[in-house]
A = this chain, B = another copy of it.
Amino acid sequence: MKGTVGELGEFGLIRELTSRLTTTPAVRVGPGDDAAVVAAPDRRVVASTDILLENRHFRRDWSTAYDVGRKAAAQNLADIAAMGAVPTALLLGLVVPAELPASWPSELMDGLRDECQVAGAAVVGGDVVRGDTITVAITALGDLRNHEPVTRAGAQPGDVVAVTGWLGWSAAGYAVLSRGFRSPRAFVEAHRRPEPPYHAGPAAAGLGATAMCDVSDGLIADLGHIAEASKVRIDIKSGKVDVPSQMNDIGQAVGVDPLQWVLTGGEDHAIVATFPPDVKLPARWKVIGEVLNPSALPQVTVDGAPWTSKGGWDHFGDDPATGGGQAGTGGSGGLGGFGGEIES
């Protein structure tokens, strides 16, 4: 892909983007018509939308177009999984400046496609327009496979709180990048390209999860969404929360308690859920707390007390400094989402 988006032209760019796509048996009508048609065997479809802006949700000097595509797809597909559904399809609305190298949208599409493949889904359609700011609007669809959707509202006192996936890795990577470093690579990579445990969402639904969401804003913030919707209190046991040893090293280097990354860092898109206390969880789930009756305490506590370090996202701040992702990526920095989580 040489030249700019403007030089490639409308039809050239569309041809280029669609030529990169792969399909799945669920795609009944793919790109090229008024609309796509996707199988919804459950007779219900799960849908979530997100909109990402350059320099607010991603930076071209920090992430390749491919990584932006992987991450943009991941954060939406994780929303589908966090309802207990299997992702099936993704649609892209894309704004690109005419002077943007044509390789950028092409590689973005490669990233979207590959992340969709990881989740079992496919890009089925989109719209591309010219504009000043690169804008990536994603809608993901999924199928519940006869599970009831697991909302945020079903947690019951006595339930256990369990999590699967990565926690704090993206925040640690952000801390590294924002200090001008490019390593340790594992955390920088985790920041650029989250790996949500897509399969765990439907599996949790099958195990009887009472409430669930993905961790896009940070563990405390996202458990706060569950606590609020379920009208309960949730207590996290800090001793149960794993802090990887490599994270301790970075924490020392940059002067941050890594537990803060784990408890408040967003964008790894781990999945957190509440389950009845007798649940038998698969090995990769970790019980980290319990659901309690509401009290005068905050809706989410750590070891029975309010978490005093800066927690979750400051949604009103322009540039989250610690504890989160880059320039408000994923669950942050904007004005928030609805029908998705706040800032899904």
Q: Which residues of A come within 8 Å of B, CB atoms?
A: 5, 9-11, 13-14, 17-18, 28-53, 56-57, 79-80, 82-83, 85, 89, 91-96, 123-133, 135, 137, 139-142, 144, 149, 151-153, 212-214, 229, 315-316, 328, 333-344
Q: Contact: B93 with A29, CB < 8 Å?
A: no
Measured CB to CB, the nearest residue on chain B to A85 is B35
Partner of A47, one of B41, B141, B334: B141
Q: Contact: B28 with A44, CB < 8 Å?
A: yes
Q: Contact: B10 with A338, CB < 8 Å?
A: no
Copies of this chain, count = 2
Q: For residue A32, which residues in chain B have a CB less than 8 angstroms away from its CB? A: 152, 229, 338-339
Which one of A139, A144, A212, A341 has the highest number of Cβ atoms from chain B below 10 Å of its Cβ? Answer: A139
- Further pairs besides A36-B340, A37-B144: 16, Cβ < 8 Å: A10-B342, A18-B339, A35-B47, A35-B82, A35-B83, A35-B142, A36-B48, A49-B91, A49-B126, A50-B93, A51-B95, A52-B129, A56-B129, A56-B130, A123-B339, A126-B340
Contact A132-B129, Cβ < 8 Å, known A44-B40, A124-B47, A340-B34 = no
Q: Contact: B335 with A51, CB < 8 Å?
A: no
Q: Contact: A339 with B28, CB < 8 Å?
A: no
Measured CB to CB, the nearest residue on chain B to A105 is B335
Q: For residue A339, which residues in chain B have a CB less than 8 angstroms away from its CB? A: 18, 30-33, 35-36, 91, 123-126
